[in-house]
Amino acid sequence: MSRISLGLKIWWLAVVFIVIILLVVFAANYFGVRPTVTGGGVDGIVLPEGFAIDAYADDLGSTLLSFGGPSPGPRMMMVKDDFLFVSIPNKGLIAVLPDRDEDHVADEVEVFISDLDYPHGIDYYDGWFYIAEESRVIRVKDDDVDLVADEGSLEVVIDNLPKGGHYTRTVKIHDGQLYVGMGSSCNACYETNERRAAISKSNLDGSNLTVFAKGLRNSVGLAFHPLTGDLYVTDNGRDWLGDDLPPDEINLIIEGGDYGWPDCYGKNILDTDFNNSEYTGNPCNDTGKIPSFVDLQAHSAPLGLTFYDGESFPEAYRGDLFVCFHGSWNRKEPTGYKIVNIDMDTRTVNDFATGWLGDVTISGRPVDVIVADDGSLFVSDDNAGMIYRIYYTG
């Protein structure tokens, strides 16, 4: 090889190296993507005075920041007879985490059911475990209570759910009715399938399936108020309107309601980037769109939520709505990666658990939060592959 050819080769390698470095710097600065701390953990998590956090289970699947695709770690949870059940979509299974010695640490990870299509939501009612996969909703039994779904018990409740786009499906049962939340197929578009960007409702066997509420871009978390029975949901707003628009939302769901997406967001604000037609007045108000119940910081990615109906937390927290912020992926200054509590009377949002987002690192991404039988909180983290237990020490 001539000196000229060798020189050109070295020059091109140098150019490629510089381009790669520039792309990494651009991604870090523009998209807010930061490396995760290996293994995650509870060190550095900040809670209000009197509260503590421990690891209930770990090694459930982890990744270097998962954005968009099925998460490798634990997602939605449910407690049944003191046993914690959790979905792990990327592994295609529902795990059960028993704590038989009652030391507040899972004894082991057992598989309740596997070979599923990105299972996400899970609930229980009248002998049946209901599981929402990406393409369908099924139910199974465990009559012998061996923490393994009974062979041959699987029934398909709702079939042929549309795939693609937001893959998560959340299922809840209330007053003998089955509710299914399904996100959009896109960032901002008019859907051709009415069940997308909506919450559907059916009988427990899947019959009489109808759209309960629409205009909800991606409502991952569903929670019924323990006293009023009202349904509240999280909703993730669209991307590419800047760091602070549109707000993510908590919505109070009214049957038949339209919550605005893709034309409107937040307090009935018209998305002129998507719908730039000329109007007289505000079409978001004129067409009866329902505004958000609470606006949240844009790109926080609120997912699981639960009302605190336990008795071990101080009185000030009882009745509050706890919400997991999964965290931003395309904000210049990252936000989220925490748990907040919302006072339902004043609708004020307060930080409850923080510390997963550091100056140069992200150590975890909270997904779901539920109240345990002893009044503590279980929190799933699909990035660190952990389940946390938050409790009050007094």
> pLDDT tens-digit profile of 255-292?
999 999 999 999 999 999 999 888 877 889 888 899 99
pLDDT band with cut points at 50, 70 and 90 for residue 62: low
Query: Once rounded to an integer, what is the mean pLDDT over residues 289-306?
Result: 98
Does 18 reside within a domain? no
pLDDT band with cut points at 50, 70 and 90 for residue 88: very high
Does 21 reside within a domain? no
Does 1 reside within a domain? no
Does 281 reside within a domain? yes
Q: Residue 99 above 60 pLDDT?
A: yes
d(CA 323, CA 317): 13
Q: Residue 1 above 80 pLDDT?
A: no
- Cα–Cα distances in angstroms (integers) from residue 347 to residues 37, 198, 232, 258, 325, in the given order: 33, 24, 13, 21, 17
Residue 241: what are its φ and ψ, rounded to 5°?
Answer: -115, 15
Does 95 reside within a domain? yes
Percent of the chain with pLDDT over 90: 81
pLDDT band with cut points at 50, 70 and 90 for residue 303: very high
Question: Which pLDDT does position 174 carry in this prediction?
Answer: 98
- Cα–Cα distances in angstroms (integers) from residue 255 to residues 112, 225, 273, in the given order: 34, 15, 28
CATH number at residue 243: 2.120.10.30
Give the structural domain span for 297: 31-392
Question: Which pLDDT does position 306 carry in this prediction?
Answer: 98
Residue 345: what are its φ and ψ, rounded to 5°?
Answer: -80, -45
Report pTM: 0.90
Question: Which pLDDT does position 67 carry in this prediction?
Answer: 53
Question: Which pLDDT does position 8 carry in this prediction?
Answer: 57
Domains of the chain: total: 1
